[in-house]
């Protein structure tokens, strides 16, 4: 069957808060947008799982205070310009996109003002929330706005395979002599038809989330495999801070593929971490105790587990003064399903891979080093998070940079900065690399087991040069074998995901090896 070939003003790969904000910003300027989601609906990613909230502006708060908190949490590895921009322009983007356009029903006080909460690392209460299902509420509002917009065409069950670039993919020799490369869209696998679609776009936006699922324990959605970083690297775009992976200190310790998140807001409201003997241990590790930045809390928990030989620690919610069923209904009901009454029973928790602080390097408008390619959200590296993300700044960054990128693309389209049509026409449709039908689910499962165990044990919360060197060699061999297998086998979503995840793991390990300075999420222990 012939493959579909589509031409659009903008292609947004990923439909979480950043991708949705970007698509809405472009579409509001009268431009056509194709929005891709890997799942059956556009809320397939991490945003819907977010519990805590999104940074806004608290009483007696200032941009300077927020800057200070972000820089401290990020170990001053941050881009000060990016942090300053976020602190100053972030609240306005939240109001425009989430409050006014998506009409997210954030919690309010009896007097009508927003009920702002506080999380670890924040000096004041400045976080908007919808109980403990903030991400779900945000995605519900964004989904409604996207579906009602005539200029946004959402395509589901689509997995981006590779970015289309002018120098790599053109069939015309004249275009290969160009001095500069540019992104012209992407090859996209349609899970429903089994075809690879050629989507040509004047501008392409990567917004497909992080890479948490390359680790054994993760709070991330199944689609978060580092695909944006893999495709960008293959296309020649610059990456930055790839080694910085934030592990959330408190994920529910229970048998499941995705660790259920226990929001940091619980500790912000007063919950205590206890070891197996019922002792509160965090004050021994940091003067901020349970409200210390996430990297410190995660390492403290791991140290405590190593010291006691236990499998988990416990979160005691009894010090929280609020009604737990009302303030944290999602967590309350999830624990109730498992036989835990969090009013009386402590919650067993362990750290899990949660957020990628690095990724595809971009400027304040989301522009990458490859012309016509933008990156927003968790897959990008804006410099805001530095070596460790401050709680609830990710949704804020996604909204702001999504809006910034959308506005930038709309301006460039208004100025007629379209891709050359003859160049677009010179790009061929996808050609299958091979016809050897040798895809084996058992082998794919084994390869994923190797990737996730290797990353967890050798490139996880605590790293050493020896562990990283072993991981690099293991991932190098696996990537070489997968590349050869990939050339001989018809494409499928399972193979695309495996290739992207393996490639992302290899890049991360190499980046961690190159950074010999122990800082933030990249905690390098001497051998």
Residue 430 per-residue DSSP state: P
Summary count for the chain: helices (H), strands (E): 16, 16
Distance, in Å, from the CA atom of 356 to the CA atom of 471, rounded to the nearest integer, reads 18
Run of H or E residues at 413? helix 393-414
Which are the contacts of 386, defined by CB distance < 8 A and separation ≥ 6?
70, 71, 73, 74, 75, 76, 77, 78, 79, 241, 244, 357, 520
Which are the contacts of 443, defined by CB distance < 8 A and separation ≥ 6?
none
Distance, in Å, from the CA atom of 116 to the CA atom of 128, rounded to the nearest integer, reads 5
Residue 482 tokens read as 């997968």
Catalytic residues: 294
Q: How far apart are the first and last CA of the chain?
A: 56
Which are the contacts of 327, defined by CB distance < 8 A and separation ≥ 6?
131, 132, 269, 320
Which are the contacts of 198, defined by CB distance < 8 A and separation ≥ 6?
3, 4, 5, 6, 164, 185, 187, 188, 427, 429, 430
- For the four alpha carbons of 324, 326, 329 and 332, in that order, the dihedral sign comes to positive
Distance, in Å, from the CA atom of 184 to the CA atom of 195, rounded to the nearest integer, reads 19
Distance, in Å, from the CA atom of 322 to the CA atom of 335, rounded to the nearest integer, reads 17
Residue 379 has phi, psi (to 5 degrees) of -75, -15
The answer to whether the CB of 389 falls within 8 A of the CB of 294 is: yes
Which are the contacts of 340, defined by CB distance < 8 A and separation ≥ 6?
347
Distance, in Å, from the CA atom of 352 to the CA atom of 46, rounded to the nearest integer, reads 14
Distance, in Å, from the CA atom of 225 to the CA atom of 230, rounded to the nearest integer, reads 9
305 by DSSP, 3-state: which?
Answer: helix
Nearest Cα neighbor of 260 from 349, 150, 381 is: 349
Residue in the structure block whose two tokens are 């039908």: 437
What Rg value do the Cα atoms of the chain yield, rounded?
Answer: 22
H-helix segments, 322-364: 324-327, 329-337
Distance, in Å, from the CA atom of 449 to the CA atom of 480, rounded to the nearest integer, reads 17
Of the CA atoms within 13 Å of residue 331, those in its CB half-sphere come to 32
Taking the CA atoms of residue 52, residue 53, residue 55 and residue 58 in that order, the dihedral angle to the nearest 10 degrees is -90
């Amino acid at each position: 069957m012939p493959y579909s070939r589509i031409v659009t003003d903008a292609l947004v790969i990923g439909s979480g808060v950043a991708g949705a904000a970007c698509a809405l910003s472009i579409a509001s300027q009268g431009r056509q947008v194709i929005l891709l989601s890997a799942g059956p609906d556009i809320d397939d990613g991490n945003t819907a799982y977010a519990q805590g909230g999104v940074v806004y502006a608290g009483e007696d708060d200032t941009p300077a205070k927020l800057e200070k908190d972000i820089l401290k949490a990020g170990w001053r590895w941050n881009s000060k310009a990016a942090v300053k921009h976020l602190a100053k322009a972030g609240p306005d983007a939240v109001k425009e996109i989430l409050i006014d356009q998506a009409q997210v029903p954030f919690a309010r006080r009896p007097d009508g003002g927003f009920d702002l909460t506080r999380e670890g690392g924040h000096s004041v209460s400045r976080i908007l929330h919808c109980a403990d299902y903030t991400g779900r509420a945000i995605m519900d509002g964004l989904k409604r706005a996207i579906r009602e917009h005539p200029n946004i065409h959402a395509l589901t069950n689509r997995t981006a395979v590779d970015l289309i670039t002018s120098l790599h993919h053109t069939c015309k020799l004249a275009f290969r002599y160009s001095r500069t490369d540019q992104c012209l869209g992407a090859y996209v696998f349609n899970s429903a038809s089994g075809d690879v679609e050629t989507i040509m776009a004047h501008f392409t936006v990567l917004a497909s989330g992080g890479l948490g699922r390359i680790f054994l324990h993760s709070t991330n959605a199944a689609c978060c495999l580092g695909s944006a970083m893999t495709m960008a690297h293959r296309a020649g775009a610059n990456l930055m801070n790839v080694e910085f992976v934030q592990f959330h200190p408190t994920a529910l310790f229970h048998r499941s593929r995705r660790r259920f998140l226990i929001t940091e807001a619980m500790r912000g409201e007063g919950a205590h971490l206890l070891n197996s003997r019922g002792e509160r241990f965090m004050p021994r590790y940091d003067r901020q105790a349970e409200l210390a930045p996430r990297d410190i809390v995660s390492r403290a928990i791991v140290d405590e587990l190593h010291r006691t030989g236990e499998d988990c620690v416990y979160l005691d919610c009894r010090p929280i003064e609020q009604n737990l069923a009302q303030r944290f209904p999602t967590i309350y009901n999830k624990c109730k399903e498992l036989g835990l009454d969090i009013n009386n029973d402590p919650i067993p928790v362990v750290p899990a891979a949660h957020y990628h602080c690095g990724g595809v390097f971009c400027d304040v408008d989301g522009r990458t080093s490859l012309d016509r390619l933008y990156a927003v959200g968790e897959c990008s590296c804006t410099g805001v998070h530095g070596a460790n993300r401050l709680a609830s700044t990710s949704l804020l960054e996604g909204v702001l940079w999504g809006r910034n990128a959308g506005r930038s693309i709309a301006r460039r389209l208004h100025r007629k900065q379209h891709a050359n049509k003859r160049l677009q026409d010179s790009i061929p449709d996808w050609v299958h690399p091979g016809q050897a039908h040798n895809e084996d689910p058992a082998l794919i499962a084994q390869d994923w087991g190797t990737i996730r165990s290797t990353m967890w044990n050798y490139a996880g919360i605590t790293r050493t040069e020896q562990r990283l060197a072993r991981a690099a060699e293991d991932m190098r061999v696996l990537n070489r074998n997968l590349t050869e297998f990939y050339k001989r086998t018809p494409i499928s979503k399972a193979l695309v995901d495996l290739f992207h995840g393996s490639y992302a793991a290899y890049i991360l390990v190499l980046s961690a090896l190159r950074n010999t300075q122990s800082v933030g999420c990249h905690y390098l222990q001497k051998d």
